[in-house]
Amino acid sequence: MTVTIDEKDIQKTGIETISVRTAKTLVLSDIVDLLEGRLIALRIANYYPQEEVERASKQLLKHTAFERYLRAPDIGVQRTGITFFETNGSWERLERYYEEAYPSIKSLRQTFFPYLSPIDKLRVELEDIWLAGTYIENIHGRRMLVGIGRVFEDGFELPPHQDVLLRDILDAPLPPTHSLDKLIVQCSANIYLRPADIGGELEIWDEKPSSGQQKAIRDQKYKYEGIVDRRNLPPAAAVIKPSAGDLILFDAGRIHAVRPSKGGPRLSMSMFIGYRGQDKPLTYWS
Q: Which domain holds residue 194?
A: 32-285
Q: What is the pLDDT of residue 39?
A: 97
Count of domains observed in the chain? 1
For residue 11, tell me if it sits in a domain: no
User: Is pLDDT larger for residue 10 or for residue 125?
Assistant: 125
Mean pLDDT of all residues in 132-161: 94
- Residues 91-95: contacts with CB under 8 Å, at least 24 apart: 91/173, 91/174, 94/172, 94/173, 94/174
CB 201 within 8 Å of CB 213 = no
pLDDT category at 15 given cuts 50, 70, 90 is very low
CATH no. for residue 44? 2.60.120.620
Considering only the C-alpha atoms of the chain, give the largest distance between any 2 of them, rounded to a whole number of Å: 55
Q: Is residue 63 part of a domain?
A: yes
Q: DSSP letters along 16-49, please?
A: S---EEEESS--HHHHHHHHTTS-SEEEETT-S-
Q: Is residue 23 part of a domain?
A: no
Q: Fill in the DSSP letter of residue 11.
A: B
What is the predicted pLDDT for the residue at 76? 86
DSSP 245: T
Residue 202 belongs to some domain of the structure: yes
- With respect to residue 6, please indicate whether it lies within any of the assigned structural domains: no
pLDDT of amino acid 9: 32
Q: Is the pTM of this model over 0.85?
A: yes
The stretch 26-50 carries a mean pLDDT of 96
In a domain, 255, yes or no: yes
Domain presence at residue 1:
no
| Those residues with Cβ within 8 angstroms of residue 58's Cβ, 6 or more apart along the chain or in another chain | none
Average pLDDT over residues 230-253: 96
Q: Is residue 180 within 8 Å of residue 226, measured between CB atoms?
A: no
